[in-house]
Amino acid sequence: MLSGTDMEEKFNELKLRLKEYNPSVDLRSIDKAWEFCKIAHTGQNRLTGDPYASHPLFSALILSEWKVDTDSIVAAFLHDTIEDGGAKREDIVKDFGEDVAALVDGVTKVSDIRLKQEKKDETLENLRKLLLVMAKDLRVVLVKLADRLHNMRTLYALPEDKQKLIARETLEIYAPLAERLGIGEVKGQLEDLAFRYVYPQEYEKILKDSETYYEKSEEVIKKMKKQLGRILKKNNVQAKIHARKKHYYSLWKKLERKEIQWDFTQIHDIVALRIITKDVSDCYLALGIVHKLYKPIPHLGVSDFIAQPKPNGYQSIHTKVFGPEGKPVEVQIRTQKMHEQADYGFAAHWAYSEAKKSGVKDEKLEKGVISDKKKIEWARELIRWQEQITDKDEFKKAVKFDALAHRIYVFTPKGDVYDLPADATPIDFAFAVHTDLGRYIKGAKVDGKIVALDHKLKSGDIVQILKNKKAKPTNRDWLGFVVTHSAKRGIWKYLNDKKNNY
């Protein structure tokens, strides 16, 4: 059980961390928010036995790892003070301003989301609330993700029925949100924490069956680190090398695929090697050195997400090679900034906002946040859906099975990257490129080969739509296999548009 002294030590640790990444942080506001939090939650304890104020404190500590702005940290301290504490909204406005109060309001609304099947209409309405909140300020979602991450770390203290409900909410809503915001490490942690409660037998099986493979992979990676470290240094490439273990939930989902069927030898990234360089040019030098030491695996190729970032802003070079003893190994190469972006995603934007307040020039900031417009485009798309879709079940399916589904990344022949939900087809791809393209579809190629229009795409595919010279009526049968809302809506639009002349 945490004592008052323990919490004050953690609070001082938080302030040091804030000062380190944001020298202009308003520590007076942070101090005031902590005192306000403790007073509002006086006499309250969590089921773990810890003082209730420990939860907002640890939520703030998590946010500090993501390098968010001062208002987000303050909101983390205050996010439960109205609903579960003795505070009023006007108290927060008076002491911390309307912006912070709006963040706290937003977190409260997002906290209402539930997946109870007997309350479908309520679930739908809460999803709509979530989208409206996100449209106003995505920082709300960051605070809520920190809140949920700490709650998942202490889920053991809750009754079993609540454990399963909260864990399932985490898998279906919060982990996908983290993925869409590019916060990869948080997504992985949330999934692993929820995994043991939602699928306890599968969790125990993956722990047992994967142990030997993790150990073998780590031995191979250890040898590669020594070899690469020596050669990189010899070639004057400044780099840090470390290993990344694949998260258990992600590993389980991959092993469950039909084409893998629990064959661990087909998992090349159970432990991946990461090379973190000083700048982009060193990334490509490192790639050449890797391929000189270890032969690339034929047909798997190199995925260059530096030249063509993923839509959520992720940047890195991925290559699969034959490591020591012929073991397949995935190597990821990126700069330190890209590495932080991969872990903290959209959250990194707010650190740049703070830097701007400190006088950093706009052109420098733009280089840091240039991909953020792409990252939040999907959130804007959700808002448009909300305005367009009147059928409740259709809207819920669009959010769950499209917007918050696992994503794949495919390329046009020119190298442009598109993100689509898992099981997307060439038809979905065509409508993602441009809605008008759906009227001209004649056929499709994937990696240069003709495929059926209901072919399920996978990450890394190069997709080409073969076009008719003139527009044609869309095929009603496509509705049986497309998965994206944009494709379904586009097909229905053309089917119902009597003014189209083909």
Cα atoms in the 13 Å half-sphere on the side-chain side of 17: 18
Cα atoms in the 13 Å half-sphere on the side-chain side of 289: 25
DSSP state of 446: E
The set of long-range contacts for 408-413, using a CB threshold of 8 Å and a minimum separation of 24, is 408/457, 408/458, 408/459, 409/305, 409/310, 409/311, 409/459, 409/460, 410/457, 410/459, 410/460, 410/461, 410/462, 410/463, 411/308, 411/460, 411/461, 411/462, 411/463, 412/462, 412/463, 412/464, 413/462, 413/464
Residue in the structure block whose two tokens are 């090398």: 241
Is 477 known to be catalytic? no
Catalytic residue among 8, 31, 35, 83: 83
Report which residue type is found at 454: D
Catalytic residue among 6, 65, 84, 137: 84
DSSP state of 45: B
Strand extents, DSSP E, 101-192: none
DSSP state of 406: P
Is 83 known to be catalytic? yes
Tokens representing 79?
């996010």
Tokens representing 372?
């953020």
Beta pairing, strands 407-411 & 441-446: unpaired
Q: List CB contacts of 452: < 8 A, sequence separation 6 or more.
A: none
Q: What is the DSSP string of 98-114?
A: HHHHHHHHHHHHHTT--
Catalytic residues: 83-84
